[in-house]
Structure 1
Amino acid sequence: MNQNIINARVTFRNSPIHILEQFTIKNMESAYEQFKKHSGLDECVIIQTCNRIELFGKSKTYDIDKIKKTWATITGLEEEAFDENIECVENKEALHHLLKLTSGLDSMVLGEEQILGQIKNSITSAREVKASGQHLNKLFDKAIRIGTRIRNTSGIGAGGISVGSMAVKLAEENIDELKEKKILLIGTGEVSTLVAKSLQRRRYAFDVTSRTLGRSETFCETMGGNPIKFEQVLSGFGNYDVMFVATTAPYFLVTNERISNAMKDKKGGMMILDLSNPRTVDEKVATIGGIKLMNLDQIAEMVEKNMNARLNKVKTVENIINEEVCVLEASMKRLDAEPLVKDVFKNIENLREKELQKALQMLDEKDEKKIKIIEELTKAVVESIVSTPMNNIRRASEQGKPDVLELASKLFDYKKQDQAD
C-alpha cells in the first residue's frame, strides 16, 4: 500500500489492568489533535475499553517512536513504559487484528458483543472531530460489516458465558414479555454486578435490595436499577415475577414459608435464580406450584457448555477472517489509485466540455435537443475510452503493483497536476 495502516495497542494480553490503566487517554478530542499534529499520522482512530487502548492510523511514512512519544506526552508517561507493553503491527496484520476485534475473537470474553458497539462508537467519534478520513472510514465500515456477518454466520457469540448473562438469558427464555414483568435483584456483589450489567444492556427495569439501603443506592448509581429497602422485599416477594438472588448470607434468605405466602394471592408464576454460593434459596421452594427454581450449579454447567461451543467455533472464525482480510486489503490498496483516477476523469471532463463548446460554436447549433444528443455522445465516447484503462489501474492497485501506478502517473502527468493544485 502507498498508504500504511498502522495499529499500536496496549491490551490485557500483555499488560495487567493496573498497568493498562496508566495508558488510558482521558481527553479524546485533545488526543486526536496531538496524534495528527505530532505523530506523523494523517488519520487516526482510538479504541478504548477497560481491556484495551488501541490506535489505528494511516500515513504514507510513519515513525513508531513519534507515535510512542506523542502517546507518552498525552498520558504523562515515560517513553520507556511503552517498550514492554505496546504492540505494533501494520498493513495486513493491522487489518487482520481489526477483523479479530469486530468478530469477538480478541476479546477477554470470547465472542462478546460489547466490543463491536465500542468500535462503532470509536469510528463515529473520530469522524466527528475529523480525525479519520477516507482510508480509515472505509476500513472501519467494512470491518464492522464483516465482523457482524462473521458473528451471525458462525454463532461465536451465541449463548451466555458469564453467570450473570446466562441467568438473564434463562429468564428471557422462561418468562413471556419479560420487559413487562417485575424483576428483583438481591445482592450487590460481583455476581450481582454481572446480572445488573446484562439487565441494563437489554434495557430491563429492575429493583435492587441489600442488607443496607445505602449499599443498594450506591450500587444503583453505577449499575442502574431502583434501590428498595430490604425489609420491604422480605414481606413483598409476591410483587415480583423474577428474582435473581446473589448474596453471601449463611442461611436461607428466600425460605419455603415466605414464598408459599407470596404465592397465595399472586396471579401467575415466579422464576427464582439462586446465584449464591452457598445457596440462599431453600430447595423446597421448587415444590411450590407456579415456581421455577434454578441454582448456581445448573447455570454454571450451561455456561461451560456455551464456552466450549464458542471455543469449537474459533477455527471456523479464523478461516473466515483469513479469507476476508485479503478482500479488505485489496479494497484498501484500491484507494491508492483513486486520487489519480479522480484527477484523470476531472481533466478529461474539462477537455470534453471545452472541445464540445468549440464544436457547438462552429456548428452554430441552437436546437436544444440536438445539443443534448451531441453532449451525450461526447460523454459516451469519453466513458468508453477511459473506463477500461482506469479500471485496469484500480485493479493493479488492488493487486499491489505500484510500478503500474507510477507509470500511469507519468502517462497522465499526474504528479505535475498534483503539484499545480
Structure 2
Amino acid sequence: MTLIAFGINHNTAPVEVREAVAFAPEQMQQALESVRQNAKVREAAILSTCNRTEIYAELDGTDCVALLEWLAQFHQTDAARLTSCHYSYVGLEAARHMMKVASGLDSLVLGEPQILGQMKSAYAVANDAGSLGSQLHATFHKVFSIAKRVRSETAIGENPVSVAYAAVSLAQQIFSDLKKDTAMLIGAGETIELVARHLSQQGLKKIIVANRTLVNAVELAKQFDGEAILLADIPEHLHRADIVISSTASQLPILGKGAVEAALKKRRHKPMFMVDIAVPRDIEAQVAELSDVYLYTVDDLRDVIDENMRSREQAAKIAEEIIEEGVNSFAEDLRAQDAVATVKVFRQSMEELRDVELAKAQRLLQSGADPQEVLQQFARNLTNKIMHKPTQQLKKASIAGDYDLIASMHRLFELDIAGGENSAPRDIDKSENS
C-alpha cells in the first residue's frame, strides 16, 4: 500500500482548469464512492477549494494515471487538459506535501489559516463516507498534529498579508468590539467583498454598501444581511458609519472633507476610522487633517503587509523544520507498523509449530509414554523446528558472503560468539591480501 497525494492547484493550473475539476459539497459522497470503485483505491479523501483540488489515497502501486483519468471522467473534461498541470507525491513526500498544505505553506497567501479547517472538513467528510482506512486515519492525525505545532510555535498566521485583511485588522485595533459598530463600504468589487467577509467574520453589527450601481450594491449587501445605497446617498448616511473603507475605480474623489466634517458634527465628534484602498484615491487627503478621523491609504497598508510578509517568511523557515520533524516521525511510525506486522506473522508461525509439537506430546502421554521422555522430546523437536529455517538461511548467507544477515542475527538475538566478538565473520580473502 502506497500513500499518494495527487492534484492541481493555483501554482500549476489557471482558474478555468481549477473550476472544471472543483467538487461541490453535495458531490463529495458520490465522488468518494466513485474514486474507490473506478480508480481502484483502497482509501481516499478529497480536498477541494478555490485554489486546489487534491486527492489523498492509498494505492496498491504508485501509478496515478487512474486518478487523473477518473478526475477527468467524473467532471466530464478532457484528461489531456489536466496532464500538464497535475502533480503527485508518493510515500513520505505525500505526507510532507499534506503537512505543508495544512500549515499554509503551499497557499496562495503564505500562512493563510482557512486551509487547515478545509482539510479537517475533507477528513470528516471522507470519514463519514467510510472511505478512510487505518493508513489515512493515521496520516491525517499526524498532519493535523504538525499543522497545530506550526500554528502554535510560529507566527506564520498572526499578521495580515492582504489589503482587505490588513484594513480590518487596523479597524480592530481602534474599535475593540466590532459587534457594536457600523461599516460603510464604498464600492462592490472583489476587494470590498473580501473586506465585508472579514468584517462579518468578526461579528460587525451593520454593513452599508455604497456603489454607483445599486443592483451591484444590493447583491453584495444581501450576502451579509446589509443595506445598499447609491454613491450620491453617502452624505445622508455617512454619520452612521464608525468605519469607512473605500475601493472604487473612480478617477475623482468620492468623499470630501466637507462631507466628513458634517458627519462628525452629527456624530458629536465620535471617532471615525477610514481606509482608502483605491488608486486614484477615493477620499480627499485633507480628511486626514480632521482630529476625529483616522485615515489610512493603500500605501499605509502596504507597509504593514510587507512587514508582515517578511515576518511570515521567517516563520515559514521554522515551519519547514517542524514539518521535517513531522515527516521523520511519520517515517518512524511506518517502520514501527512494519515491525508490528512482522512480529505478528513471526509469532503466528511459532505458535503453529508449538501447537503441532504439543499435540504430538499429548498423544504420547495419552498412550502411556513416560512423561519425562515426552517433555524432553517435545523440547527437542520444538527447538529443532524453530531453528530449522534460520539455520538454513544462515548457511546460505555464509556461502554467499552475506555477512550483513549474519551480523543482524547477532544483534537480533544478542549472540556472544567465541572470543566475545559480535561482528560478522572476517573477510579471509581481504585479510590474506593485506
TM-score normalised per structure 1: 0.76
> What CA distance in whole angstroms lies between the structure 2 residues aligned with 1:195 and 1:319?
34
RMSD between aligned residues: 2.7
Map 1:135-214 onto structure 2 (within 5 A): 135-205=135-205, 206-214=207-215
Gaps of 5+ in 1: 349-403, 405-421
- For 1:70 and 1:34, locate their aligned partners in 2 and report how far apart those are by CA, in whole Å: 8
Three-state SS of the structure 1 residue aligned to 2:79 is coil
Q: Distance in 2 between matches of 1:258 and 1:72?
A: 56
Q: Deviations over 1:290-337 (max 9, x none)?
A: 211111111112111111222233322212211111112323444456
Residue in structure 2 matching 1:296, options 278, 290, 298: 298
Q: Deviation of residue 213 (structure 1)?
A: 2.1
Where does 1:244-263 land on structure 2 (aligned, <5 Å)? 244-263=245-264
Residue range with higher mean Cα deviation, 331-340 or 183-192: 331-340
| Corresponding residue number in structure 2 for 1:43 | 43
Deviates further, 37-46 or 311-320 = 311-320
8 A contact 2:274–2:293 mirrored in 1 = yes
* Counterpart code for 1:220: A
Match of 1:25 in 2: 23
Whole-angstrom distance in 1 between the partners of 2:100 and 2:334: 17
**2:251 touches 2:280 (CA, 8 Å); kept in 1?**
yes
3-state SS of 2:46 partner: strand
Distance in 1 (alpha carbons) for counterparts of 2:106 and 2:120: 16
Q: Match of 2:326?
A: 324
How far, CA to CA, are the matches of 2:135 and 2:203 in structure 1? Answer: 35
The answer as to whether partners of 2:273 and 2:293 remain within 8 angstroms in 1 is yes
Alpha-carbon distance, 1:62 to partner: 5.4
Give the aligned partner of residue 279 of structure 1.
Answer: 281
Deviations 1:122-171 (A, max 9, x none): 11111111111222122212212211221221111221111100000000
1:95·1:329 contact (CA, 8 Å) conserved in 2? no
The structure whose RCO (Cα within 8 Å, separation 6+) is larger is 1
> CA 1:263 to 1:60, structure 2 compared with 1: closer, same or farther past 3 Å?
same
Q: 1:12 aligns with which of 10, 13, 18?
A: 10
Cα distance in 1 for partners of 2:241, 2:171 equals 13
Single out whichever of 98-107 and 281-290 deviates more from structure 2: 281-290
CA contact (8 A) 2:247 2:276 kept: yes
Matched residue, 2:385 = none
Give the residue type in structure 1 aligned to 2:150: I
Aligned residues: 348
Partner of 1:106: 106
> What per-residue deviation string (whole Å, max 9, x for no partner) do you get for residues 39-73 of structure 1?
22111010111111100001344542222232222
Runs of 5+ consecutive residues of structure 2 not aligned to the other structure: 352-407, 409-434
- Is the partner of 1:8 in helix, strand or coil? strand
Residues 258-286 of structure 1: per-residue CA shift (max 9 Å, x gap): 11111113152111111111112122222
Quick check: 1:40–1:62 contact (8 Å CA) kept in 2? no
Task: Return closer, same or farther for 1:289/1:65 CA change in 2, 3 Å cut-off.
Answer: closer
Question: 2: CA distance between counterparts of 1:141 and 1:339?
Answer: 21
Alpha-carbon shift at residue 338 of structure 1 (Å): 6.1
Amino acid at match of 2:246: V
Q: Provide, for residues 336-393 of structure 1, a one-character-per-residue CA deviation record: whole Å limited to 9, x for no partner.
A: 5667889989xx9xxxxxxxxxxxxxxxxxxxxxxxxxxxxxxxxxxxxxxxxxxxxx
Match in the other structure for 1:264: 265
Q: Which amino acid aligns with 1:51?
A: N
Distance (Å, rounded) in 2 between the aligned partners of 1:179 and 1:130: 41
Q: Which range moved further: 110-119 or 225-234?
A: 225-234
Once the two structures are aligned, what percentage of the paired residues are identical? 26
SS of 1:184's equivalent in the other structure is strand
Distance in 2 (CA, whole Å) between partners of 1:274 and 1:328 is: 48
> Which residue number in structure 1 is paired with residue 73 of structure 2?
73
Amino acid at match of 2:218: E
Are the aligned partners of 1:39 and 1:63 in contact in 2 as well (CA < 8 Å)? no
Matches within 5 A, 1:311-390: 311-336=313-338
Deviates more, 1:193-202 or 1:319-328: 193-202
- Does the 8 Å CA contact 1:243/1:271 hold for their aligned counterparts? yes
Q: Is the 8 A contact 2:155 2:311 kept in 1?
A: no
Match for residue 116 of structure 1? 116
1:133 and 2:167 are equivalent in the alignment: no
Tell me the TM-score normalised to structure 2 length. Answer: 0.74
User: Within 1, Cα distance between the matches of 2:36 and 2:221?
Assistant: 40
Tell me: CA distance 1:57–1:252, structure 2 relative to 1, closer, same or farther (3 Å).
same
Partner of 2:424: none
C-alpha separation between the residues in 2 aligned to 1:342 and 1:238?
Answer: 75
Counterpart CA distance in 2 for 1:119 and 1:203 is 24
Cα deviation digits, residues 145-202 of structure 1 (max 9, x gap): 2112212211112211111000000000111212211111111123212312322333
- The answer (yes or no) to whether the contact 1:245–1:273 under 8 Å persists in 2 is yes
Provide the C-alpha distance between the structure 2 equivalents of 1:71 and 1:340, rounded to a whole number of angstroms.
36
Shift of 1:232: 4.2
Rounded Cα–Cα distance in structure 1 between residues aligned with 2:219 and 2:342:
59
Rate the CA distance shift 1:77–1:180 in 2: closer, same or farther, 3 A. Answer: same
Q: Distance in 1 between matches of 2:340 and 2:30?
A: 31
Larger Rg: 2
SS at match of 2:84: helix
Please tell me whether the aligned partners of residues 160 and 166 of structure 2 are also in contact (alpha carbons under 8 angstroms). yes
Cα distance, 1:314–1:194 mapped onto 2, change above 3 Å: same
